[in-house]
Amino acid sequence: MSDSKSGGGKAVKSIGIMAVLILLAKFMGLLREMLVAGIYGQGYASDVINSATQIPLLFFDMVLGVAILSTFVPIYNKNLEQHGRAAADAFANNFITIVGSVAVLAAALGVVLSEPVVRLMVPGYADVPGKVEETAGLLRILFPSIAFTAIAYVVVGILQSHGEFTIPSLISVVSNGVMIAYLIIFGNKLGLTGVAVSMLIAWALQLFFQVPWLLKTGYRYRPRWNFSDGTMKEVALLALPVLISSWVQPLCNVINMSFGSGLGDGAVSALNWANKIYIIMVGVFAYAITNFIFPRLSRLSAGDNDSAFAETTRVSVGWIIFIITIISALFLALSSPIIRVVFERGAFTADNTKITASALFFYSFGMVGYSICEVLNKSFYAIRDGKTPMYTSIFGVIVNVGCAALFVLGLGLGVNGLALASAISSTAIALALLIMINRRRSGVVTKDFVLNAVKTLLCGLAAFVTAKLVYIAADRLPGAGMVMTLVKLCAAALPACAAYAALAWVLRVNELKTALGFLHRNK
């Protein structure tokens, strides 16, 4: 990127394509959750399937997860830049063999220790007869998904490093499509066991779907096991801090599950569904931007181009703040009608809506912070610095645990307190990362950047007030039902977006200027 405007404009089209694909995948994931909520409501059964689904993913995130892409992509690209394709693919073969073996071992341990894992992760379930045992039974089915997902992540890294972003963005469409088809066709006919089996198949397809495109890049897997390889030593040095730094989100989920399991049937489900919507909307754009810039940042770091690295990071953070601020404002203003439209049908009642919407409201305070963390973590990993995200993550987990204990045990805020604790933690980590990345690569945080961020937040405040006032007025109109709620929701959201854009134009927010310039040049 030669400057902020040209760099931002150039990225808009590529990021936009990925955002659309990820948006499709995320909304299919939301549809999957809507079907589960409609079939099982918010209580014993939904807690069991939600916990059994989350625990393997939490284990994967904490043992391998983000560390795979965050260590693999920079070193694979470094080999491509400095030693050529053969060396890069040899590293990939070694990486897949070792990581795949670790993932299979983790899955096997999970299957064997499923019941103790449930008692550790959701201790409150022990108070309900049969709840621990049923959750553990589903875990035995779902833990093998860790192995498929681990290799799928490595394949994503290879494809993205060779400029293929579309297929990695589509893998969730495939897996969610399998789950949606199962739920529509079978519903609860095969019970929770059927849901778990279909979910395992869906996760396995994330790997197998990518194989044809992987072969098109010219890559061929050949088993290789060499711990003494210098590149694997580099991975090992980077992996531990990256692993620890990637624990924030899963640990926050563990904390919420642990506290929530003692708040009665449905509390874990309310937190899960509110968090899913929160992650879906943040993830669409945060993941699109990070997937686009990470290989580029890795190459810039390998080429010692510090000024371009700082500019790419600054522009990316600016865009993520601009995009997520309006989403956060709308979620804060309209959390109740959003949950009502998305979930309130079948076994999901109005009381369930009230609890889940309240959790979503408090989660939404952390949207901007969470999205900034996604971008800046990748920036640190690209310069092969895993220690800084590790230290800030430890800080964030401490903040989360302290706030959760205060809000739930001290102030009795229940589910709302857990969601607010997560939001405060995400924001604290984001601020710490901004300070630290600017120390490592001067020029990321500039006076113009800070001023522009403040302008964007003011635009978000205007959007929040507009959405809230319009919805209050619209809610007084006659008419009820889901369709009317959706109409009122749109009636509030559209003027709020208009107010956001109008004030951004008046305040000359950089990202809006860049977008308008890009549209003008491409008429």
Q: What is the full per-residue pLDDT of the chain (523 aa) written as tens digits?
A: 444 444 444 445 555 666 677 778 777 887 888 888 888 887 788 888 888 888 887 777 666 666 676 678 778 888 887 888 888 888 889 888 988 888 899 889 989 999 998 888 888 888 888 888 999 999 999 999 888 988 998 898 888 888 777 788 788 888 999 999 999 999 889 889 999 999 999 989 989 999 999 999 888 888 888 766 666 777 766 666 666 666 666 667 777 777 776 666 667 777 777 877 777 777 666 666 666 665 566 566 555 566 777 877 888 888 889 989 999 999 999 999 988 888 887 777 788 888 888 989 999 999 999 889 888 887 887 777 777 888 888 888 889 889 988 998 888 888 888 889 989 999 999 999 999 988 888 788 889 999 999 999 999 999 999 999 999 988 877 766 777 888 888 899 999 999 999 999 999 998 888 777 766 665 5
Distance in angstroms (rounded) separating the CA atoms of residues 390 and 394: 6
DSSP 8-state assignment for residue 162: T
Distance in angstroms (rounded) separating the CA atoms of residues 357 and 354: 5
Contact call for residues 271 and 257 (beta carbons, < 8 A): yes
Tokens of 278: 């929160």
φ and ψ at 85, to 5 degrees? Answer: -65, -40
Q: How far is CA 508 from CA 51, 266, 454, 505, 517, in A?
A: 46, 46, 12, 5, 12
- With the CA atoms of 319, 427, 259 and 340 taken in that order, what torsion angle do they form, in degrees rounded to the nearest 10? -40
Contact call for residues 275 and 56 (beta carbons, < 8 A): no
Contact call for residues 53 and 197 (beta carbons, < 8 A): no
Distance in angstroms (rounded) separating the CA atoms of residues 261 and 269: 10
Distance in angstroms (rounded) separating the CA atoms of residues 383 and 366: 26
pTM flag (> 0.85):
no
Q: How far is CA 500 from the centre of its chain?
A: 25
Radius of gyration in angstroms for the set of CA atoms belonging to the chain, rounded to a whole number? 23
DSSP 8-state assignment for residue 410: I
Distance in angstroms (rounded) separating the CA atoms of residues 106 and 100: 10
Q: What is the predicted pLDDT for the residue at 153?
A: 85
In three-state secondary structure terms, 488 is helix
Distance in angstroms (rounded) separating the CA atoms of residues 511 and 517: 10
Distance in angstroms (rounded) separating the CA atoms of residues 393 and 41: 34
Q: What is the predicted pLDDT for the residue at 302?
A: 53
The alpha carbon dihedral of 166, 169, 171, 174 has a sign of: negative
Q: Encode 152-185: b = buried (16+ Cβ within 10 Å), e = exposed.
A: bbbbbbbbbbbebbebbbbbbbbbbbbbbebbee
Residue with tokens 């400029």: 163
Distance in angstroms (rounded) separating the CA atoms of residues 423 and 367: 7
Q: What is the predicted pLDDT for the residue at 74?
A: 77
3-state SS record for 82-127: HCCHHHHHHHHHHHHHHHHHHHHHHHHHHHHCHHHHHHHHCHHHHH
- Domain locations in the chain as residue ranges: 4-443, 446-523
3-state SS record for 440-477: HCCCCCCHHHHHHHHHHHHHHHHHHHHHHHHHHHHHCC
Tokens of 156: 């994503």
* AA identity, residue 435: I
* AA identity, residue 449: F
Distance in angstroms (rounded) separating the CA atoms of residues 433 and 427: 10
Q: What is the predicted pLDDT for the residue at 5?
A: 45
